[in-house]
Amino acid sequence: MSKIDDLARKTVFSISPYVPGKPIEEVQREYGIDDVIKLASNENPLGPSPLAVEAMRNSISNVNIYPDGNCFYLKRDLAASLGCRADQLIVGNGSDELLKLIAETFLDPGDEIIFAQPTFSEYEFVSRVMDAVPVAVPVDSSFTHDLQAMAGRISGRTKIVFICNPNNPTGNIITGDALKDFLDKIPEHVIVVVDEAYREYATDPAYPDSLAHVREGRRLISLRTFAKIYGLAGLRIGYGISSPEIISLINRVKEPFNVNCLAQVAARAALQDVEHLRRSRELVASGKSFLYGHFDRLGLKYVPTQANFIFVDIGVDSRSAFRSLITEGVIVRTGDIFGYPNYIRVTIGTPEQNLRFVQALQKVLGSA
């Protein structure tokens, strides 16, 4: 009798399962701590849009009915907001599903994908699922995508280039000019995917308008999400914008009811919640300044961020610091998973959470 492993696709053994940020409930169970704050997964500490919550309350009695598989009304609202056509949009069970759908649509075994290192680990994951070849290109000395080096790695086997902007975990951006110059070098057989999960937090006027390149007819897919600034991470809903031709191809591999009905109504309401967006941006701006000041005081190097998190060099082993911070009821993300063992990534929280994190970090570093 054969082992079950013998029945699996060989590429499965090259995949490391994604390990999410440690949940609050798990820390409470393991450490017996009731008061725990999670600054590990870049969630909005203000919670979901109040308009989204109200919309879900009004729709909860409809969950016995299958959702609209085409997300018609959400696409209509997005198209009006973005200035594009509905057939240029695809909605997914989070941006993660969209990344996997893109890989399933375009990648054959042996195709290459290119991405920065460090960046969001799902780019490598979806390529390995399809038995494609991941090509990681180190960021430059300022932790920015080295677009010249990435362009230099493109070959006849390259199919997709992933650009995370702002980049996760570093929080910095590539500029509009840099993106345009990069796209000018890309051959027609390559699709560029620009993952803009944190775009609403970016304040740098040089941040690019990726949709302008879609309108020009570039082979580009822009990915966005309701998980971050809109506070709907638990509903899993994101969307992509590209040409109708590219979207039509991706729709061929999409599940028929991939976005639940509550997520759809919540996303439509969240789009209208200008006040929630304003408060969320202001919270991050003030929290960023607060944390920068304390990092400077402690002599810690960090990457200036355009997102709602900061990548900071704490000068000691991040896993050891992670365990010590947990005993203080503070959850962060270790940098070793990104190849930087002395760094942590900390989400910008409420003023109270930021202060508690700084106090806990200072205590941990003082005893290190």
The CATH number of whichever domain residue 97 belongs to comes to 3.40.640.10
Q: Which residue, 271, 293, 308, sits at the end of a domain? A: 271
Q: Are residues 228 and 299 in the same domain?
A: no
The pTM (predicted TM-score) of the whole model is 0.94
Q: Are residues 187 and 331 in the same domain?
A: no
Residues 171, 303 contacting (CB under 8 angstroms): yes
Q: Are residues 280 and 212 in the same domain?
A: no
| Cα gap 144→166, rounded to integer Å | 10
Q: Does residue 272 carry a pLDDT above 60?
A: yes
Q: Are residues 224 and 94 in the same domain?
A: yes
Q: Are residues 231 and 320 in the same domain?
A: no
| One-letter identity of residue 28 | Q
For 130, phi then psi, to 5°, come to: -90, 10
Q: Are residues 115 and 202 in the same domain?
A: yes
In angstroms, the Cα distances linking 2 to 8, 13, 14, 89, 213 are: 11, 17, 21, 45, 51
Q: What is the CATH number of the domain that holds 24?
A: 3.90.1150.10
Condensed to tens digits (0 to 9), the pLDDT of residues 194-213 reads 999 999 999 999 999 999 99
Condensed to tens digits (0 to 9), the pLDDT of residues 307-336 reads 999 999 999 999 999 999 999 999 999 999
Q: Does residue 175 carry a pLDDT above 90?
A: yes
Tell me the pLDDT of the chain averaged across its residues. 95
Q: Are residues 250 and 357 in the same domain?
A: no
**pLDDT of 34:** 84
| Cα gap 110→264, rounded to integer Å | 36
Least Cα distance to 185 among 265, 114, 263, 291 occurs for 114
**pLDDT of 15:** 78
Q: Does residue 2 carry a pLDDT above 70?
A: no
- DSSP for 114-143, written as a single string: EEEESS-THHHHHHHHTT-EEEEEE--TTS
In angstroms, the Cα distances linking 195 to 159, 173, 309 are: 16, 11, 16
| Cβ-Cβ contacts under 8 Å for 210 (sequence gap 6 or more) | 165, 179, 194, 196, 220, 222
Residues 169, 197 contacting (CB under 8 angstroms): no
Condensed to tens digits (0 to 9), the pLDDT of residues 250-265 reads 999 999 999 999 999 9
Q: Are residues 35 and 56 in the same domain?
A: no
Q: Which residue, 230, 253, 271, sits at the end of a domain? A: 271
| Cβ-Cβ contacts under 8 Å for 25 (sequence gap 6 or more) | none
Range of the domain at 54: 50-271
Q: Are residues 64 and 213 in the same domain?
A: yes
Specify the number of domains making up the chain.
Answer: 2
**pLDDT of 21:** 73
- DSSP letter for 305, please: -
Q: Would you place residue 305 in the very low, low, confident or very high pLDDT band (cuts 50, 70, 90)?
A: very high
Three-state DSSP string of 34-92: CCCEECCCCCCCCCCCHHHHHHHHHHHHHCCCCCCCCCHHHHHHHHHHHCCCHHHEEEE
| One-letter identity of residue 2 | S
**pLDDT of 368:** 57
Tokens of 212: 């302008």
| Cα gap 338→347, rounded to integer Å | 16
In DSSP terms, which residues pair with 134 in a beta bridge?
A: 113
| Cα gap 197→38, rounded to integer Å | 19
**Which of 16-20, 52-56, 219-223, 244-248 has the least mean pLDDT?**
16-20
**pLDDT of 13:** 83
Cβ count near 59 (within 10 Å): 15
Q: Are residues 219 and 322 in the same domain?
A: no
Q: Which residue, 242, 271, 300, sits at the end of a domain? A: 271
Q: Are residues 168 and 288 in the same domain?
A: no
Condensed to tens digits (0 to 9), the pLDDT of residues 136-168 reads 999 999 999 999 999 999 999 999 999 999 999
Q: Are residues 93 and 125 in the same domain?
A: yes
**pLDDT of 30:** 79
